[in-house]
Chains A and B, each alone.
Chain A
Amino acid sequence: MGVPAPHQRPSPGSPAATMSPPLPGTVPPALVLEGLTKAYGTHPAVVDAALTITTGQFVALLGPSGCGKTTLLRLVAGFEHPDAGTITIAGRTVLSPWSPGLPPEQRNVGMVFQDYALFPHLNVEQNVAYGLGRSPARAARVAELLALVGLDGMGRRLPHQLSGGQQQRVALARALAPRPALLLLDEPFSNLDAGLRQVVRDEVRRILRHEQATVLFVTHDQEEALRLSDLVAVMLDGRVVQVARPREIYERPASRAVAAFVGAANFLPAVAEGTTATCALGQLPLARPASGPVELLVRPEMLELAADPAGTHTVAACSYTGADLLVDLRLAGGPLVRARTPNWLDVAPGDRVAVHVRGPLMSYPFAP
């Protein structure tokens, strides 16, 4: 499901997402943030953040440690109070400059914490039932969720009797039980070891799709964000700098900073003129017209190498990672770039190679 995301290409410092009021008869967005700002003393944690999440979307909030993404999540949940901004959840304004803000329990937002935060004195069933009140459907809902997360039969166990992966599934079931308008996940996979993480990710995605949940999840793992989500919001230094689909984020980063953070990147100095740019790799097509001194974004896998004694570029170093070979190239003009090639390429430091660059390139104004 999910409405296709609008292409948004904001520049850093300006509000990232444009907001349109819901048309009559349509479902309001699950979450709308506008101008959200929060500082701890003099340290700004979240600056003028804007974001819109359509009902049913799975959105990743991606950023390095300390960029303010967990703070943003806690502001949405109501555990912290912003200095400025508006939060609208499922069409209901829960916080605006002229209201004190709804407390967490009235926001209809579920949250799965990084350390799960299960209630240690309650068993699995009681944990899941905690948010359900006294409705008669309570027992049925608990059973349904436990079956969904694959924990049927474990309802009477206490949290400390479960493995890490099981604890996480309890936390997920507990947060989903009251059918929140929005589910927040804070670094949900960071406490699991690498092998388990792969399995759990796909499992969680399946569960959340089955429940048709609208999800905002925080991660610092780019691969996780690109792989799992419909939409990725990149956050750097407290600002939401780009909101777009995964392919767009990786292939058309809105700024040099986004390009540098998401995936590996070479930046080649070049001079642009209209739809092409000239650099140490020759004249290359641009994705968007530009002019003057620029830096070109060249992802390592965009460089195709071929051993060629007559080639103009030299292999400076190689490292073998299994499937791939990482090759550091000394280009004819002097700069060093890294290429990622399949492991069958047989080159050694000192060899000469020919280079072909795939696809049009993104360029960013050169800032010395």
Chain B
Amino acid sequence: MATLDRALTLSPARPQPRRRRPWPLLGLGALVVAIVVLPLGYLLLRSLEAGPDAWAALLRPRTITVLAGSAALALSTAALATLVALPVAWLTVATDLPLRRFWAVVTLLPLAIPTYISGFAMVAAFGPRGLLQRLLAPLGVERLPEIYGFGGALFTLTLCCYPYVLLTVRGALRRCDPAMEEAARSMGDTPLTAFFRVLLPQLRPAIAVGALLVALYSLSDFGAVSLLQFDSFTRAIYMQYRGSFDRSGAALLALLLVLLTLALLALEHVLRGRPSMSRTTCAVPRPRRLIALGWWRWPATLYCAALSILGAGVPLGVLVYWLVRGLANGQELVSLWRAAGHSLLAAALAAALAVASALPVALLAVRYPGRLSRLIERGAYLGYALPGIVVALALVFFGANFAPALYQTLPMLLVGYTVRFLPQAAGSVRTSLQQLNPRVEEAARSLGRGPLAVLGTITTPLLAPGILAGAALVFLTTIKELPTTLLLSPSGFPTLATLVWGSAAEAMFARAAAPALLLLLLSAMAMALVVAQERTAAS
């Protein structure tokens, strides 16, 4: 009886107190949302002003073909990445795969590699007169399968993006109660049939989220598709923006891309299914007993190795090859350090800004739930769903018209990054805030400290790991980001990303290799922080 009582007292079913939101917090949250929403609203207005030519261009068969091609690429990449990632997630969490922890980290490495570097590495390795063809030439191989176009873009993007599915599914797999599978096994399932009948249905929400991330990422990708000469919609927008005086035409195209993004979000909502499935089964589970792979561990290891080599090994190998060749031929490294400094500065400032903006949003969402808080949170997450090129265009238009003083300055670039990557910081801060017992803050209040003092002495120090992880994530994605950087960078402010892009787009691989390697080094360091945080959160 007493234990039942206790269970009832501690159950989360107790009505959640609705607390009055402090207005400074509300004001900060509203400010953040305004910065995110205003440029996009302006983009919408601007596109309505588009001339008849732009509208006609919109309905041209060519526009429709490009749009359909982009959608097809996004969906195929999502599907293929899921197929590639699922076995790795299961192998590294649930089985006795040799070097399990090693593969768990190595298979995530492509996260640190920007798509334009992967794209250029694929061209350099598998393209006409690429490394592979030169290796195979003595054997009489004249032609390799075509790397340019849809196939090459799908191949490259899948290798870049599958870690997103891997991360979400692995997290869900860790939270799932192994007792479920044991129950299935006791009823006659083999490990494999138990995986398909019991585990996979539980993982569906995580798979849907991971696949959505991949689809959004490929839809908004600009670097890889351009280098692989696939006619993507982002490329079309960029051409329209650079190539014509009627910029509202580009705005109109950007809006069409936003619509496609919304369609993807709706699709994910349908595919995700009932969220209750994941919640009921994911209490605090016992540690799982690993499934013995037996003879299968050799093909399983081979699979992980092949994936890691294609996803991380090939880009790294190609870069090192071209760096050595370039240095041997007297390639200069002059502007490298200046660009690296710019990259570091911009990414560090963007990480700080994103985390600072994320704090009020997450505080409102977790500590003061309600309709207004939800609205603010949704608004802040808008940048998540929008391709970088759309956000960048919106800020270009907005800046040119309303804030000419800020146009093409570092602050404007930082706002662009923040709008894009705020959701990553907010998600990270939000998760750690949810794990922070509100009673701890109340205890501090009852000991005589005001709200601000409690925020400073209790909440912030306890959130520090989450804040750091969020900042590392934003730093990582910012330093890799291409379209926002290309469109919003102040003139005379080269970064590693623009340096790599400028050289790779002209197929000057030797010149691109050094900045690309430096970029990989920096993003790998940021990624190590993110992975370490995932580890501590999981344990």
A residues at B contact (CB < 8 Å): 40-41, 43, 45, 64-66, 70, 74, 77-81, 103-111, 113-115, 117-121, 130-131, 133, 171, 174-175, 177-178, 187, 190, 220-221
Report yes or no: B447 in contact with A79, Cβ–Cβ below 8 A.
no
Report yes or no: B9 in contact with A77, Cβ–Cβ below 8 A.
no
18 residue pairs A–B, Cβ–Cβ below 8 Å: A41-B15, A64-B5, A65-B9, A74-B17, A79-B445, A81-B20, A113-B439, A113-B442, A113-B443, A114-B10, A117-B442, A119-B440, A119-B444, A120-B440, A130-B447, A130-B449, A220-B5, A221-B2
Report yes or no: A117 in contact with B448, Cβ–Cβ below 8 A.
no
By secondary structure, the B interface counts as helix
Report yes or no: A174 in contact with B447, Cβ–Cβ below 8 A.
yes
Interface centre among B8, B443, B449, B457 (most CB of A within 10 A): B443
Task: Point out the residues of chain B lying under 8 angstroms from A45, CB to CB.
Answer: 15
| CB interface residues, B 425-461, toward A, < 8 Å | 437, 439-440, 442-451, 457-458, 461
Report yes or no: A114 in contact with B446, Cβ–Cβ below 8 A.
no
Q: Pick from B2, B18, B437: contact of A115, CB below 8 A.
A: B437
On whether A103 and B450 interact (CB within 8 A), knowing A121-B461, A221-B2, the answer reads yes
For residue B442, which residue of chain A has the nearest CB?
A79
For residue B437, which residue of chain A has the nearest CB?
A117
Report yes or no: A104 in contact with B442, Cβ–Cβ below 8 A.
yes
Q: Pick from B15, B437, B445: contact of A104, CB below 8 A.
A: B445
Query: Any chain A CB within 8 A of the CB of B289?
Result: no
A58 to chain B minimum Cβ distance, whole angstroms, is 19
A263 to chain B minimum Cβ distance, whole angstroms, is 14
CA distance A361 to B526 in the complex (A): 76
Report yes or no: A114 in contact with B9, Cβ–Cβ below 8 A.
yes
Task: Point out the residues of chain B lying under 8 angstroms from A111, CB to CB.
Answer: 442-443, 446
Task: Point out the residues of chain B lying under 8 angstroms from A133, CB to CB.
Answer: 448
Report yes or no: B17 in contact with A79, Cβ–Cβ below 8 A.
yes
| CB interface residues, B 449-486, toward A, < 8 Å | 449-451, 457-458, 461-462
Other than A65-B8, A104-B445, A110-B446, give 4 A-B pairs with Cβ distance below 8 A: A45-B15, A113-B439, A114-B9, A120-B440
CA distance A120 to B443 in the complex (A): 12
Query: Any chain A CB within 8 A of the CB of B62?
Result: no
Q: Pick from B17, B439, B445, B447: contact of A103, CB below 8 A.
A: B445
Query: Any chain A CB within 8 A of the CB of B6?
Result: yes
B15 to chain A minimum Cβ distance, whole angstroms, is 4
Report yes or no: A105 in contact with B6, Cβ–Cβ below 8 A.
no
Task: Point out the residues of chain B lying under 8 angstroms from A108, CB to CB.
Answer: 448
Report yes or no: A190 in contact with B447, Cβ–Cβ below 8 A.
no
Report yes or no: A121 in contact with B443, Cβ–Cβ below 8 A.
no
Task: Point out the residues of chain B lying under 8 angstroms from A118, CB to CB.
Answer: 440, 443
Task: Point out the residues of chain A lying under 8 angstroms from B448, CB to CB.
Answer: 105-106, 108, 131, 133, 178
For residue A41, which residue of chain B has the nearest CB?
B15
Task: Point out the residues of chain A lying under 8 angstroms from B462, CB to CB.
Answer: 119-121
Task: Point out the residues of chain A lying under 8 angstroms from B18, CB to CB.
Answer: 40
For residue A130, which residue of chain B has the nearest CB?
B447
CA distance A106 to B448 in the complex (A): 6
Report yes or no: A110 in contact with B20, Cβ–Cβ below 8 A.
no
Task: Point out the residues of chain A lying under 8 angstroms from B447, CB to CB.
Answer: 105, 110, 130-131, 174-175, 177-178
CA distance A110 to B448 in the complex (A): 9
For residue B15, which residue of chain A has the nearest CB?
A40
Task: Point out the residues of chain B lying under 8 angstroms from A74, CB to CB.
Answer: 17
CA distance A47 to B417 in the complex (A): 52
Number of interface residues of B (CB under 8 A): 28
| CB interface residues, B 291-324, toward A, < 8 Å | none
Task: Point out the residues of chain A lying under 8 angstroms from B461, CB to CB.
Answer: 121
For residue A43, which residue of chain B has the nearest CB?
B15
CA distance A130 to B461 in the complex (A): 14
Task: Point out the residues of chain B lying under 8 angstroms from A221, CB to CB.
Answer: 2
Report yes or no: A117 in contact with B439, Cβ–Cβ below 8 A.
yes
CA distance A130 to B18 in the complex (A): 27
CA distance A187 to B6 in the complex (A): 9
For residue B18, which residue of chain A has the nearest CB?
A40
| CB interface residues, B 225-249, toward A, < 8 Å | none
| CB interface residues, B 186-234, toward A, < 8 Å | none
CA distance A117 to B20 in the complex (A): 22
Q: Pick from B446, B449, B457: contact of A77, CB below 8 A.
A: B446
Task: Point out the residues of chain B lying under 8 angstroms from A79, CB to CB.
Answer: 17, 442, 445
For residue A121, which residue of chain B has the nearest CB?
B461
B21 to chain A minimum Cβ distance, whole angstroms, is 13
Task: Point out the residues of chain B lying under 8 angstroms from A64, CB to CB.
Answer: 5
CA distance A77 to B439 in the complex (A): 12
Task: Point out the residues of chain B lying under 8 angstroms from A104, CB to CB.
Answer: 442, 445-446
CA distance A27 to B18 in the complex (A): 36
B343 to chain A minimum Cβ distance, whole angstroms, is 33
Report yes or no: A175 in contact with B440, Cβ–Cβ below 8 A.
no
Report yes or no: A175 in contact with B446, Cβ–Cβ below 8 A.
yes
For residue B449, which residue of chain A has the nearest CB?
A105
B516 to chain A minimum Cβ distance, whole angstroms, is 40
CA distance A121 to B464 in the complex (A): 11
CA distance A41 to B15 in the complex (A): 9
For residue A74, which residue of chain B has the nearest CB?
B17
Task: Point out the residues of chain A lying under 8 angstroms from B8, CB to CB.
Answer: 65-66
CA distance A130 to B449 in the complex (A): 9
A72 to chain B minimum Cβ distance, whole angstroms, is 13
Task: Point out the residues of chain A lying under 8 angstroms from B446, CB to CB.
Answer: 77-78, 104-105, 107, 109-111, 175
CA distance A119 to B458 in the complex (A): 7
A161 to chain B minimum Cβ distance, whole angstroms, is 17
Report yes or no: B450 in contact with A174, Cβ–Cβ below 8 A.
no
Q: What is the 8 Å Cβ interface bit string for chain B, positions 322-345, against chain A (1 contact, 0 not)?
A: 000000000000000000000000
B17 to chain A minimum Cβ distance, whole angstroms, is 5
For residue B441, which residue of chain A has the nearest CB?
A117
CA distance A119 to B462 in the complex (A): 9
Report yes or no: B443 in contact with A174, Cβ–Cβ below 8 A.
yes
For residue A110, which residue of chain B has the nearest CB?
B446
CA distance A113 to B442 in the complex (A): 9
On whether A77 and B444 interact (CB within 8 A), knowing A114-B9, A115-B437, A187-B9, the answer reads no
Task: Point out the residues of chain A lying under 8 angstroms from B9, CB to CB.
Answer: 65, 70, 114, 187, 190, 220
On whether A117 and B440 interact (CB within 8 A), knowing A65-B9, A110-B446, A190-B9, the answer reads yes
Task: Point out the residues of chain A lying under 8 angstroms from B443, CB to CB.
Answer: 111, 113, 117-119, 171, 174-175
A76 to chain B minimum Cβ distance, whole angstroms, is 10
CA distance A253 to B193 in the complex (A): 62
CA distance A98 to B88 in the complex (A): 64
For residue A77, which residue of chain B has the nearest CB?
B446
B453 to chain A minimum Cβ distance, whole angstroms, is 8
Task: Point out the residues of chain A lying under 8 angstroms from B440, CB to CB.
Answer: 117-120
For residue B20, which residue of chain A has the nearest CB?
A81
B23 to chain A minimum Cβ distance, whole angstroms, is 14
Task: Point out the residues of chain A lying under 8 angstroms from B10, CB to CB.
Answer: 114
A226 to chain B minimum Cβ distance, whole angstroms, is 15
On whether A65 and B5 interact (CB within 8 A), knowing A117-B442, A120-B462, the answer reads yes
Q: Pick from B17, B445, B458: contact of A105, CB below 8 A.
A: B445
A168 to chain B minimum Cβ distance, whole angstroms, is 13
CA distance A117 to B462 in the complex (A): 13
CA distance A110 to B2 in the complex (A): 26
6 interchain residue pairs of minimum CB distance = A131-B447, A117-B439, A40-B15, A104-B445, A117-B443, A111-B446
A141 to chain B minimum Cβ distance, whole angstroms, is 13
Interface centre among A81, A111, A119, A131 (most CB of B within 10 A): A119
CA distance A110 to B447 in the complex (A): 7
Report yes or no: B444 in contact with A130, Cβ–Cβ below 8 A.
yes
Task: Point out the residues of chain A lying under 8 angstroms from B457, CB to CB.
Answer: 130
Task: Point out the residues of chain B lying under 8 angstroms from A77, CB to CB.
Answer: 442, 446
Task: Point out the residues of chain A lying under 8 angstroms from B437, CB to CB.
Answer: 115, 117
CA distance A45 to B14 in the complex (A): 11
CA distance A229 to B385 in the complex (A): 59
Task: Point out the residues of chain B lying under 8 angstroms from A115, CB to CB.
Answer: 437, 439
For residue A81, which residue of chain B has the nearest CB?
B20
B14 to chain A minimum Cβ distance, whole angstroms, is 8
CA distance A64 to B446 in the complex (A): 26
